[in-house]
Amino acid sequence: MLENIKNEIVDVADFPIPGVNFKDISHLLKSKHFKEAIILMGEKVAIPDYWIGIESRGFIFASALSMHYGGGLVLCRKKGKLPPPKIALDYQLEYGTDTLEIKPGQGNAVIVDDVLATGGTMNAAEQLASNAGYTVTDKLVLINLKFLNSDTSVKSIIEYE
């Protein structure tokens, strides 16, 4: 099952900039193996009250996990995309800052995204979710690019060393 999923992920050299090897998941999303990926991801964690999807591709995986396993969906959005009430957090990027926003709430939550690269956005989402009242029980991604991060603990079904 895992090999089928890996075969649907296509490497795109020099995208979006020279030197970056982009992991294109669009082939997986349109294949029958997408459901297999969701099942394997969900088996990695205890089913939470909420799946928190990070904009934008995290929405896809968090939504599917919510539909398959149960639990609500919470969106972790970029600045200016949520109406009030909302909680915001500014965080540091490699070349500047960004802002994430989330609706306040309570309950156990798993933060979900498609790929973990450096971990900055995932770490910010975890802090934001905690600030907003959620108890973060896990962080989950389809792909962990382990060679780019060292201080973010996540669960994944695919790892690239």
Residues 44-54 have pLDDT tens digits of 999 999 999 99
Q: Which candidate, 31, 52, 58, places its Cα nearest to that of 115?
A: 58
- pLDDT tens digits, one per residue of 82-141: 999 999 999 998 778 999 999 999 999 999 999 999 899 999 999 999 999 999 999 999
Q: Please give the tally of structural domains in the chain.
A: 1
Q: Is residue 57 annotated as part of the catalytic site, yes or no?
A: yes
Instruction: Tell me whether residue 19 is in a domain.
Output: no
And the tokens for 77?
């959005």
Instruction: Tell me whether residue 9 is in a domain.
Output: no
Q: Which amino acid is at 59?
A: F
Instruction: Tell me whether residue 63 is in a domain.
Output: yes
Phi and psi torsions of 157, nearest 5°? -105, -20
Instruction: Tell me whether residue 126 is in a domain.
Output: yes
Instruction: Tell me whether residue 14 is in a domain.
Output: no
Q: Is residue 94 annotated as part of the catalytic site, yes or no?
A: yes
Q: Is the Cβ–Cβ distance between 21 and 13 less than 8 Å?
A: yes
Neighbours of 92 (CB within 10 A): 11
Catalytic site residue from 3, 43, 55, 57: 57
Catalytic site residue from 43, 55, 77, 94: 94
Q: Which amino acid is at 56?
A: S
Indicate which CATH number applies to the domain containing 57: 3.40.50.2020
